[in-house]
Amino acid sequence: MSEDIKVDKVLDLKGLPCPMPVVKVSKGIKDVEVGQVIEAHSTDPGSLTDFPAWARTSGNEILKTEQDGEVIKFYIKRNA
Amino acid sequence: MQNIKQKPEVMQNIEEQLAALQSRIEVLDKKTPDDKLSMIVFSGDLDKALASFIIATGAVAMGLEAVMFFTFWGTPLLRAKGKKVGGKDTMGKMFGTMLPKGTSDLKLSKMNMAGMGTAMMKSLMKKKNVASLEQMLEMAEQLGIKIYVCEMSMDLMGFKREEMIDYKDLTYCGVAKFLEEANNSRIQLFI
C-alpha cells in the first residue's frame, strides 16, 4: 500500500483476463463513496492501457499506478 | 441595459433569436446519440460470439448501455439446452437438429478440426481463466444488457419462444427496433 494515499477498499483482480478486470473494477468502485479511493490489483498487462481508458470514459481518476512484479496496482478515486 | 429597455424593438429581436436558438438546441438534443452500444450478432461461431459478449460487457463497464440483436446464425446460441418443444414441421425439425442448441454447441470459425480444435480452445480458455460463453451470457444478464431476437430468423428456422433461454431482458423484434437503437447509439457493430 502506498503511504500517501488513503485506500478505502482493495480489489483483487489477479489472474483475471480481459474483460473481467474492467468489468469488476467498474462494479467495485460503486462500493465506495464519491471521493474515496480503491486499490485494484491486476495481473493482466492489458490493464495498463485499459484502466486509464476506462477511467477517462467513466469519469474516474487513476491517482497512481505501481508495478509490483507481475501485479499492477491501480489507485483509483471515484469521481463519478 | 437601460439602453436596451428603452428600445422595445431591440428587446423583441433578442427574444425571438433566443426562442429560435432554444428550439434548435432541442432538435440537436434529440439527434445526439446516447452513450450506447448497439450490436448485431449475426454469427453463430464460438469465437465471434465470445468477442461479442466481451465487447458488450466491456461497454457496460465503460459506462455505456449495451444492446445485442441476435439474428440468423446468432439466434440458435440463445436456445436452451434442456428445453424441448414439439409441433414443428419437417423443416423446423431439420433446422432444430442441425443448428446448435445453445452456447455449448458452438464451434470455432477456424481450426475446428472436427471438434478437436474447439475442445482444445475451451480447455485452454479454462486454463487461462478466460470466461466461457456461458459465464459471459450470465454476466451480460447481471449487467442488464438487453437482448433482442430477430423474429424473422426464429420463424425461418422454426424456433419457438418456449425453447429459448430464460434471460431477464429478452425481447423479440424486427429490423426497425434495431435501427431505432442503432440510430440512437454512439457505437454500432455487426459481428
Given a contact cutoff of 8 angstroms between Cβ atoms, the answer to whether A11 and A37 are in contact is: no
Secondary structure class of A24 (helix, strand, coil)? helix
| Residue tagged active-site, from A10, A18, A20, A48 | A18
Amino acid B4: pLDDT: 63
Would you tell me how many other CB atoms lie within 10 Å of the CB of residue A33? 8
Question: Which residue reads 508495478 in cell numbers?
Answer: A67
**Confidence class for position A3, pLDDT limits 50, 70, 90:** low
- pLDDT above 60 for A2: no
* Amino acid identity, position B47: D
Q: Which residues 13-32 in chain A show a CB within 8 A of chain B?
A: 15-20, 22-23, 25-27
Q: In chain A, whose CA is at the least distance from the CA of B63?
A: A58
Q: Which residues 143-162 in chain B show a CB within 8 A of chain A?
A: 143
DSSP H helices, chain B, are 2-5, 8-31, 46-61, 90-98, 116-127, 133-142, 151-156, 175-183
| pLDDT per residue as tens digits for the range A21-56 | 999 999 999 999 999 999 999 999 889 999 998 998
Distance (Å, rounded) from C-alpha B79 to C-alpha A68?
A: 45
Inform me whether the C-beta atom of residue B38 falls under 8 Å from chain A C-beta atoms: no
Q: Known catalytic residue: A18? A: yes
What domains lie within chain A, and their CATH numbers? 9-77 (3.30.110.40)
Say whether the ipTM exceeds 0.95. Answer: no
Inform me whether the C-beta atom of residue B130 falls under 8 Å from chain A C-beta atoms: yes
In this structure, which topology does domain B33-190 adopt according to CATH?
Hypothetical Protein Ychn; Chain: A, (3.40.1260)
What residues of chain B score a pLDDT lower than 50? none
Amino acid B11: pLDDT: 87
